[in-house]
Amino acid sequence: MLSKDLLKEGQGILRLKPTWVPRSFCRPGKRIKLHPDDYYVLGLEKGGIDERWFASTTWAENGPGTPADEGLSYVVSKDGSKKMLLKDMVEELKGEIVGEYLWNKYHGWPMYSKFFDNAGPLPHHIHHRDEHAKRVNSVGKPEMYFFPAQMNNHEGEFGYTFFGLNPDTKKEDIKKCLENFDKGDNHILDHSQAYKIELDTGWDVPPGILHAPASMCTYEPQFASDVYAMYQSVLLGGHCVPNDLLWKNCPEEEKGNFDYLMDVIDWDANVDPDFKKNRFMTPIVARESDKYKEEWICYKCPVVSAKRLTVYPGQTITISDSAAYGFILIQGKGKIDEWDMETPTLIRYGELTSDEFFVTEATAKKGVTITNTSATEPIVMLKHFAENPDLKR
């Protein structure tokens, strides 16, 4: 059984193949280490690759003709000759991979993370809450943002994110913006506030919150869903958003109903006068010594969380967690148990790397041993969890 063989070979640590995702409405920021010749390797109709997904069992909803495995992570053997979908491996081995609690509650791995890397800002858009997502056979999508310095040697065209709506915004003003979507700039950003993005900080974005992300390379832990709708019609530089994205993930019987689009908005959360106080996140030290530092970087969402682990040059540590997790290495090289790991400089599309892994619950609880083999450079990894009992909110 291949799933058992891969689990045994990695001794509870699974090596993952890079998962690249194109978006037809985006322009690559070219900070995710993909070779410059490969950002449009899937064709201009598919769009540029501006996302890399991590520990994903979630299909990317990219419209008709999307391959059945787009957005899904593959587990690969050490020699690269064998592979299977992480989704299939979880379905076969259940709690052996994600733990009995997560399997019994979700019957799967209920989150994924990504690098989002766009040259310009995204439209003011929204992710549906459970009651709306259910109507298109999906689930709501809470997500969080973190902006690693290692992935942001430049801020792109617009290093500001609009979040929510101004506290004095009236519902009829936003409905008018939506009704004017096809008439040019619908001016929805007139009713929102932009925040300058600070490196190595983050934001909590529950479903129902309008947001227009900055042109930063963003680490995004999120629930296992890909529902969204674009509420802004014209972007910086005159880039236009097609009307079908306004009605994306809208039930057929509601298309054309602007009151339904308004209902998708969590109004009170959007007009919160203390929005930054309630949604902004700075790293919180979880544990540290003279060998390492581990910090919570995404911690305000009840069902998804993330840590940043830094292991100092030449050090070896053994570290445990109470839940399964995926991780991406963003700086340095070394070993994790029997696996070599290193941060790549440049990746060709389809090429294997040694920078992304998944740690099963039993192995996470037992503890993994990490050795930094560099005398000068730290190891830095981002660890993404679903529910983690170690996080005390």
Looking at the structure, do residues 129 and 93 belong to the same domain, yes or no? Answer: yes
Looking at the structure, do residues 276 and 289 belong to the same domain, yes or no? Answer: no
| SS3 category, 314 | coil
Instruction: Read off the pLDDT of each residue in 19-32 and give the average, rounded to a whole number.
Output: 91
Instruction: Read off the pLDDT of each residue in 98-111 and give the average, rounded to a whole number.
Output: 97
Question: Which structural domain, as residue segments, surrounds residue 189?
Answer: 2-281
Looking at the structure, do residues 171 and 192 belong to the same domain, yes or no? Answer: yes
Taking the whole predicted model, whether its pTM rises above 0.75 is answered as: yes
Degrees to nearest 5, angle at CA 287 with 390 and 97 = 40
**In-domain check, residue 390:** no
Instruction: Read off the pLDDT of each residue in 2-22 and give the average, rounded to a whole number.
Output: 97
* Structural domain ending residue among the three candidates 226, 256, 281: 281
Residue 62 has what pLDDT?
80
**In-domain check, residue 393:** no
**In-domain check, residue 391:** no
- Range scoring the smallest mean pLDDT among 136-140, 208-212, 270-274: 136-140
Are residues 248 and 201 in contact, defined by beta-carbon separation less than 8 angstroms?
no
* Structural domain ending residue among the three candidates 281, 296, 331: 281
**In-domain check, residue 220:** yes
**In-domain check, residue 313:** yes
Confidence of residue 82 (pLDDT cuts 50, 70, 90): very high
Looking at the structure, do residues 275 and 313 belong to the same domain, yes or no? Answer: no
Looking at the structure, do residues 257 and 291 belong to the same domain, yes or no? Answer: no
* Structural domain ending residue among the three candidates 241, 260, 281: 281
CATH number of the CATH domain containing 26: 2.60.120.10
Looking at the structure, do residues 296 and 226 belong to the same domain, yes or no? Answer: no
- Range scoring the smallest mean pLDDT among 50-64, 114-128, 344-358: 50-64
DSSP 34: B
Point out which residues pair with 385 in neighbouring strands: 305
Looking at the structure, do residues 87 and 124 belong to the same domain, yes or no? Answer: yes
Nearest to 201 by CA among 150, 161, 146: 146
Instruction: Write the CA distances from 6 to 10, 11, 86, 358, integer angstroms.
Output: 6, 8, 11, 12
Point out which residues pair with 126 in neighbouring strands: 229
Looking at the structure, do residues 222 and 170 belong to the same domain, yes or no? Answer: yes
Looking at the structure, do residues 256 and 313 belong to the same domain, yes or no? Answer: no
Q: What is the pLDDT of residues 333-384, one digit of tens each?
A: 999 999 999 999 999 999 999 999 999 999 999 999 999 999 999 999 999 9
Looking at the structure, do residues 172 and 307 belong to the same domain, yes or no? Answer: no
Total tally of structural domains belonging to the chain: 2
Confidence of residue 302 (pLDDT cuts 50, 70, 90): very high
Residue 393 has what pLDDT?
58
| SS3 category, 364 | helix
Are residues 212 and 95 in contact, defined by beta-carbon separation less than 8 angstroms?
no
N-terminal to C-terminal alpha carbon distance within the chain:
40
Q: What is the pLDDT of residues 40-50, one digit of tens each?
A: 999 888 889 99
Residue 288 has what pLDDT?
98
Taking all residues of the chain, what is their mean pLDDT, rounded to a whole number?
96
